Amino acid sequence: MSAGLRVLFCDNHLLVVAKPAGMPAVPDASGDESLLDRAREWVRIEFAKPGAVFLGVVHRLDRPVSGVVVFARTSKSAARLAPQWRARTACKIYWGVCGAIPSAPAGACEQWLVKDRDANRVRIAPAGSADSKHAVTRWRVLEQRAGRALVELVPKTGRPHQLRVCAASLGAPLVGDLKYGAREPLDDASIALHARSVEFDHPTRGERMTFDAPVPDHRVWDFALCRESR
């Protein structure tokens, strides 16, 4: 941890960090400090970089979501990493806390989603309908406690809010996710969704790499598996 940034890995080509919930991944209309801003400042100080620091945005997380984020430290790395996310050869695993117990221990959500950009909200639409995007999420319950479930969510597509909609469609919306059916907010305005791990090929060496981000230190994540991950 340095300058408020939790660095999971850094070399000449990559910077992998843990994003805190509530921070925008990139600058937005709020004007609040973004993860990209903080990561650039960390690189500038750590490596005594004069002038502007380059960091390529490979992927993003919604503001209320925490977890692992990968930046490219060179344009060459960015050009080699981005296709892995587009082709879905980069594997991402999320953990979420549902406010109810899903009726089955595991399954898949296959849905057609339409985004309302004005409301920044997604709805389920009939298969193949206009403007809809196909979304597939595999999920399983990892642990249960006090009427809540710790679930693993593995997106097979990259649609906006697809994990949040999947949880809601199970009748078990993510804790704190008022937009998709949670009954009350969390005290830090986060939602209980965490990008737990990412796996991809190194942009120059080609070796497969996996990085895990510890879950937030918040009582909503009070599960045995979460405590072990910190």
Q: Which domains does the chain have, with CATH numbers?
A: 6-229 (3.30.2350.10)
pLDDT of residue 1: 43
3 CB-near residues (< 8 Å, 6+ apart): 38, 41, 42, 45
For 83, the enclosing helix (H) or strand (E) is helix 75-86
Q: What is the pTM of this model?
A: 0.95
- 28 noted as active-site residue: no
| Cβ atoms of 227 and 216 closer than 8 Å | no
pLDDT of residue 28: 92
pLDDT of residue 91: 97
pLDDT of residue 4: 85
pLDDT along the chain (230 residues), means of 10: 81 97 94 95 94 94 97 97 95 98 97 92 92 96 97 96 97 97 95 98 97 95 90
pLDDT of residue 128: 87
pLDDT of residue 99: 97
| Cβ atoms of 120 and 80 closer than 8 Å | no
Alpha carbon distance 99, 96 (integer Å)? 10
| Cβ atoms of 180 and 165 closer than 8 Å | yes
pLDDT of residue 41: 95
pLDDT of residue 3: 55
Give me the catalytic one of 11, 32, 37, 62: 62
146 CB-near residues (< 8 Å, 6+ apart): none
